[in-house]
Amino acid sequence: MRQLISQYTQDSYIGVQMGQTYNDIEVDEPIFQIDDSLFSRTDGSQCWVFGIITRQTREARCWAVQDRSADTLLRIVQENIPSGFVVYSDGW
């Protein structure tokens, strides 16, 4: 179910860039430990998540990513952030 929701959410982003006016954008790529305590299973898996949020409108999007390479993250940025927006990061 979690995977279906993730795929549906990510599919809804396709072809739709964030914001209609000028916005400051923040990006980050934390890692999450997968702990499925509802089913008494902790397999120790980790998942990288890339997130984008607009400072003014608080619109947010996130993607589970296999890696944090420039190719992976820049593709997401280019598809979701209009040119001319200011992007803030913690050093990525």
Tokens 């400051």, residue located: 24
pLDDT digit string, tens, across residues 43-88: 567 788 899 988 888 888 888 888 889 999 999 998 888 888 888 8
End-to-end CA, the chain: 31
CB 53 within 8 A of CB 26: yes
> 88: number of CA atoms within 13 Å, CB side?
7
Residue 1 pLDDT = 46
23: which residues sit within 8 A by CB, 6+ positions away? 54, 55, 56, 57, 85
pTM: 0.69
